[in-house]
């Protein structure tokens, strides 16, 4: 079977792979806090999924990009943040390089919500070249195709996926509290008094209506209990494996159908 990982190919193998298909898989993530879950989960999750999709479809799979937009979580230890305009430029340069290799469609597996807008702008940037970019986010897919898989919340789902990837020993389930994307309804600090209610990140509510006030997550977050213990990790790991498999099956089917799309026809004006 031909190689699917671009970084493991010789340039001759890459040339042959790009001739087989004009569609590639690209995984992008970032580094920031997720309670007891490793700070790299936004990258490791999509790296695992991308590799499986590439293996099952034969599509060229790029090395995962572990850095992304992250300004609202910048104060957490271990966070690495790239400004949105710079990361948009990086995504665009990658796509333009792929275009020179004959690629016309990119299936982006995005592991971090903050990357979404730069990726959308990238898609608009390269549209003029005749390229199409599809952005898929595993947790949003999972909520639709397995709506009852993790009623505890996405924070537990991310931990389960991390356990499936790295094993149960990677969880930092010490007795202390956690903050940073942790908890279904995590406690938040009322920064602006009782009437302006914090909802998470830069989202607030005043008299039942939404209002956006940009703040750092470190300022609004309050430590939450770990919610999980070592005895529950193995069961979580198995659930994480099951959810990855369902999501991979869905994305494999999408990638195969997306690879059949003719961008020249799809992007015709009028």
Q: How far apart are CA 29 and CA 62, in angstroms?
A: 13
* Cβ within 8 Å of residue 20, ≥6 positions away: 2, 58
| CB of 67 closer than 8 Å to CB of 82 | yes
Residue 255's pLDDT is 98
Enter the pTM of the model: 0.94
Ordered structural domains, the chain, with CATH: 6-151+155-164+235-266 (3.40.50.10310), 177-228 (no CATH)
| CB of 69 closer than 8 Å to CB of 44 | no
Q: How far apart are CA 73 and CA 60, in angstroms?
A: 32
SS3 content of the chain, % helix, strand, coil (to 5): 45, 15, 35
pLDDT digits (tens, 9 = 90+) for 113-128: 999 999 999 999 999 9
Q: In a structure prediction context, what are the per-residue pLDDT tens digits for the chain, which is 270 residues long?
A: 789 999 999 999 999 999 999 999 999 999 999 999 999 999 999 999 999 999 999 999 999 999 999 989 999 999 999 999 999 999 999 999 999 999 999 999 999 999 999 999 999 999 999 999 999 999 999 999 999 999 999 999 999 999 999 999 999 988 678 888 887 777 899 999 999 999 988 999 999 999 999 999 999 999 888 788 899 999 999 999 999 999 999 999 999 999 999 999 998 754
Q: Dihedral (C-alpha) 146, 147, 150, 151: value to the nearest 10 degrees?
A: -160
What 263-270 contacts at long range (C-beta under 8 Å, 24+ apart), as own/partner pairs, is 263/104, 263/105, 263/130, 263/131, 263/132, 264/130, 266/132, 267/127, 267/130, 267/132
pLDDT digits (tens, 9 = 90+) for 158-192: 999 999 999 999 999 886 788 888 877 778 999 99
């Amino acid at each position: 079977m031909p190689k699917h990982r671009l970084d493991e190919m010789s340039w001759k193998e890459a040339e042959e792979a790009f001739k087989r298909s004009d569609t590639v898989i690209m995984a992008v993530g970032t580094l920031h806090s997720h309670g007891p879950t490793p700070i790299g989960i936004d990258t490791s999750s999509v790296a695992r999924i991308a590799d499986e999709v590439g293996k099952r479809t034969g599509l060229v799979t790029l090395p995962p990009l572990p850095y992304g937009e992250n300004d609202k979580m910048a104060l957490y230890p271990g966070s690495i943040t790239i400004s949105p305009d710079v990361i948009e430029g990086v995504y665009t340069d990658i796509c333009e390089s792929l275009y020179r290799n004959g690629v016309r469609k990119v299936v982006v597996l995005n592991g971090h919500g903050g990357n979404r807008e730069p990726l959308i702008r990238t898609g608009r940037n390269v549209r003029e070249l005749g390229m199409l970019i599809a952005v898929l986010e595993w947790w949003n897919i999972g909520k639709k195709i397995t709506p009852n898989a993790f009623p505890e919340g996405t924070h537990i789902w991310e931990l389960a996926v991390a356990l499936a990837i790295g094993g149960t020993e990677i969880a930092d389930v010490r007795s202390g509290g956690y903050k940073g994307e942790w908890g279904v309804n995590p406690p938040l600090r009322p920064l602006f008094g009782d009437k302006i209610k914090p909802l998470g990140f830069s989202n607030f509510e005043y008299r039942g209506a939404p209002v956006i006030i940009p703040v750092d997550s470190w300022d609004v977050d309050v430590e939450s209990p770990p919610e999980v213990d070592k005895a529950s990790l193995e069961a979580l790991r198995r659930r994480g494996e099951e959810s990855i498999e369902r999501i991979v099956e869905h994305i494999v089917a999408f990638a195969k159908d997306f690879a059949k799309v003719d961008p020249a026809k799809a992007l015709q004006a009028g």
